Chain A
C-alpha cells in the first residue's frame, strides 16, 4: 500500500509540466555554479600548488556545490510538499484516501517516500555532476559521498517538515509559506550562538559538508524526520476523529 501511494505520488509529480521545468532549471543553475567554481579553481590552482597542504579539487568545487544545493532545496521543497496533502484537501480528493482501507501511517509514509524518490533523483543528478571532476583529476569519493548523504538527509528533513505543514491546512500556498518560513528560521538559528544552534538542520549538515560523518548528526536527522512524520500522522489521525 505504501508503495502504491508512493508510486502514484511520484507519477503525479512527473505528470506536472512544472516539475520538468523545475528540474531543468535546477540542472542549469547547478551546472552554471559548478563551472564557475571550476573556473575559479583553475585560476588559483597554480598558486595553491605552491603552498603546502593545499585544498583539493573536491573540497573546492564539490563541497560548495552541495552547499548551494542544500539552500536551493530548502526553498524548493515546500513547493513540492504543499500539494501532497493541502492540495488534495482543496481538490476534495482527500476523501478518497480517508475512505479507502488504508491506515493513516501508510498515507503519510507513501506520500513522504514518493516525494523523496523525486528529490533523490535531483540529488543523484547533482552527485553525478560532482563526480565529473574525476575526468580531470583525482576525486575524494568519500567527501562526495558524505556530501550527497548530507544533502539527502537535509532534503528528507525539509520534506517531512513540509508534509506536516501540508497536513495543517487546506490552502497549498499557506502550507508552502509556513514550511518555508520555518526552514528559513531554522537556517537563521545557525548564525546565532548558544544552545539553540543545535536545533538547526543546516548546522548538522556542515559537518557532513566537510566530510565528517558524526553519528550524532545522523541521529539528529533521524529524530527530525521522525518527529515531523509523527506530528503529521497525529494530526491526520486526530482529524479523522480520534481512533486510528
Chain B
C-alpha cells in the first residue's frame, strides 16, 4: 500500500504485578483507515488504547506514532495523537471554549491557528451553541462531545476513541458516526466499542482482543466471509475461550 503508516505498535506486553494483562499485541494503522477494537468486558481494550496513547508505558514492546517512538520521542509523537479515554477528561468548572483552548494549547496549537481550529472542532462536534457554558452544567451527551472535540481540536494524524458513543441518544450517535467517517478521510481512527453494527458501518478493519491477546486482526471483508459479523464475533471469541484455534 502506498499510504503512509501513522501508527504502529509492536509486541505490546503489559504486566501488572506478576499478572500479564496484555500479551504481545501488534497492530498497524495507515492514513485514512478506521480500525475497530472489539472484545468482551475486561479483554484489555481500554488498557491497549491507553498504551497506544502514551498514558501507560508497556512493559515491553513499543509504539510509533508518525514515525516517532512514544517512549523516546514522546513529545513529538503525542503531538500527533488525539485521545478520548473511557471517561472524558473534562474540567467541570471551565467553560467549553476555555477548556478547548487549553486542550489545543497543550497540544501545541499555535496562537495564530487557534481560532480556526477551535471553530472547526466546535462545528464538527455540534458545540457552537454552548461555547460559553460551564462543562459541569452540560448533559452527558454534550460532555461526551466536548471530550471528542478535545481529542480532535489539534487535528491529529491519529485519533483514538474509547467507546465514543456510550451514553448518547440515537441522533447524537448518528452525528458522531458521521464525524468519525469524516475523520477517517483525513486521519487514522481507532475506536473501541461493544456495538458490532458500529464497527460494521464505520471500520475498514477490526481487531478482536480476548484476555489481552489478539485473536483476530483483519479486514471486515474477511470477517464477513463466513457469516454476518455478529456470529463471526461470537464464533471467534467462544472458540478462543474453549482453546480451539480459530
Taking Cβ atoms with an 8 Å cutoff, the residues of A that contact B are 1, 4, 8, 11-12, 15-16, 91-103, 240-244
Mask, B141-178, CB within 8 Å of A = 1, is 00000000010000000000000000000000000000
Q: Which residue of A lies closest to B74 (CB)?
A: A244
Q: Are B94 and A99 in contact (CB under 8 A)?
A: no
What CA separation (Å) do A93 and B93 show in the bound complex? Answer: 12
Q: Judge whether A95 and B55 touch: CB under 8 Å.
A: yes
Question: Quick one: which of A94, A97, A242, A243 contacts B106, CB cutoff 8 A?
Answer: A97
Interface residues of B in 47-71 (CB under 8 A from A): 50, 53-58, 71
With A241-B57, A243-B71 in contact, do A95 and B102 touch (Cβ < 8 Å)?
Answer: no
Which residues 73-91 of B sit at the A interface, judged by CB distance below 8 A? Answer: 74-79, 81, 83, 85, 87-91
**Interface majority SS on A: helix, strand, loop or mixed?**
loop
A95-B55, A100-B78, A101-B75 known; A4+B106 contact, CB < 8 A: yes
Q: Which of A1, A4, A96 contacts B89 (CB 8 A)?
A: A96
How far does the Cβ of B172 sit from chain A's closest Cβ, in whole Å? 21
Determine if B106 and A100 form an interchain contact, defined as CB atoms under 8 angstroms apart: yes
Listed in ascending order, the chain B residues whose CB lies under 8 Å from chain A are 50, 53-58, 71-72, 74-79, 81, 83, 85, 87-94, 98, 102-103, 105-108, 150
Q: Are A99 and B91 in contact (CB under 8 A)?
A: no
17 examples of A-B residue contacts, CB within 8 angstroms: A4-B102, A15-B94, A16-B93, A91-B91, A96-B106, A98-B54, A98-B55, A99-B53, A99-B81, A99-B83, A101-B75, A101-B79, A103-B74, A240-B57, A243-B57, A243-B71, A244-B74
On chain A, the residues within 8 Å of B57 by CB distance are: 240-243
Q: How far is the CB of B204 from chain A (nearest CB, A)?
A: 24
Alpha-carbon distance between A103 and B76 when the two chains are bound, in angstroms: 11
Measured in the bound complex, the distance between the Cα atoms of B55 and A1 in whole Å is: 19
Assembled-state Cα–Cα distance A121/B150 (Å): 32
